[in-house]
């Protein structure tokens, strides 16, 4: 029993240290870090809306672009300086970027 408790304590410490080193521990659905930027644009005449999400953080992030009245993006893993684009119909509204 004593060894089992000691092993569990080591696992908790290792997990906590691992999260601190990677800097990627974020609760799902919370706003993305302030170093993740998003910019909206419209494609042509009555076209589609597009949001470009870029990771300016020094660490990896997993983020999702959220919209109203349109489909949200899938969850995207972005390394530093990486970006993704999400397009949706013109009637949709971009809400923001959240952790996933």
Domains contained in the chain, CATH given? 27-99 (2.60.40)
Long-range CB pairs of 37-40 (<8 Å, 24+ gap) are 38/65, 38/94, 38/96, 38/97, 40/94
Check pLDDT > 60 for residue 46.
Answer: yes
Mean pLDDT over each residue of the chain, to the nearest integer:
80
Q: What digits encode the pLDDT tens for the residues 62-75?
A: 999 999 999 999 99
What is the per-residue pLDDT for 91?
84
Instruction: Say whether pTM exceeds 0.95.
Output: no
What is the per-residue pLDDT for 30?
92
Q: What's the number of CA atoms in the CB half-sphere (13 Å) around residue 96? A: 9
Name the token pair of 69: 């009245």
CA distance 55 to 70: 23
Check pLDDT > 70 for residue 99.
Answer: yes
Check pLDDT > 60 for residue 26.
Answer: yes
CA distance 78 to 95: 19
């Amino acid at each position: 029993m004593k060894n089992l408790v000691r092993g569990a304590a080591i696992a908790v410490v290792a997990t906590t240290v691992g999260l601190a080193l990677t800097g990627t521990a974020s609760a799902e659905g919370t706003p993305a870090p302030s170093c993740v930027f998003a910019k909206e644009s419209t494609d042509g005449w009555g076209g589609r809306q597009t949001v470009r999400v870029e990771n300016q953080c020094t660490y990896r992030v997993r983020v999702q672009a959220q919209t109203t009245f349109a489909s949200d993006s899938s969850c995207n893993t972005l390394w530093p300086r990486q970006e993704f684009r999400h397009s949706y119909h013109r009637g949709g509204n971009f809400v923001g970027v959240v952790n996933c």
